[in-house]
Amino acid sequence: MNPKFLILYIIAATLAFGLAIYQLIATDTGVTYGRIILNFIMAAGFYYLAYKTYHEKKDQELM
């Protein structure tokens, strides 16, 4: 993975996580839990990509 995308992945994950929290708080009635769970999964995926990008960058520095 390209380490240039680390900041992009972190920003996208934080926005997805914030959107899920906002939907959970702002919508009192008619909460669609499927959409909220999808946003949490998307945030977790972006955080995972950021971790893999950072981890690969650190491994290349050791060699």
Q: Examine the pLDDT at 19 and tell me if it is beyond 60.
A: yes
Q: How confident is the model at residue 43 (pLDDT cuts 50, 70, 90)?
A: very high
What are the boundaries of each domain within the chain? Answer: 3-62
Q: Any idea which residue has 């926005």 for tokens?
A: 15
Q: Examine the pLDDT at 14 and tell me if it is beyond 90.
A: yes
CB atoms within 10 A of CB 43: 20
Q: Examine the pLDDT at 42 and tell me if it is beyond 60.
A: yes
Segment (H or E) for 7: helix 6-26
Q: Examine the pLDDT at 15 and tell me if it is beyond 90.
A: yes
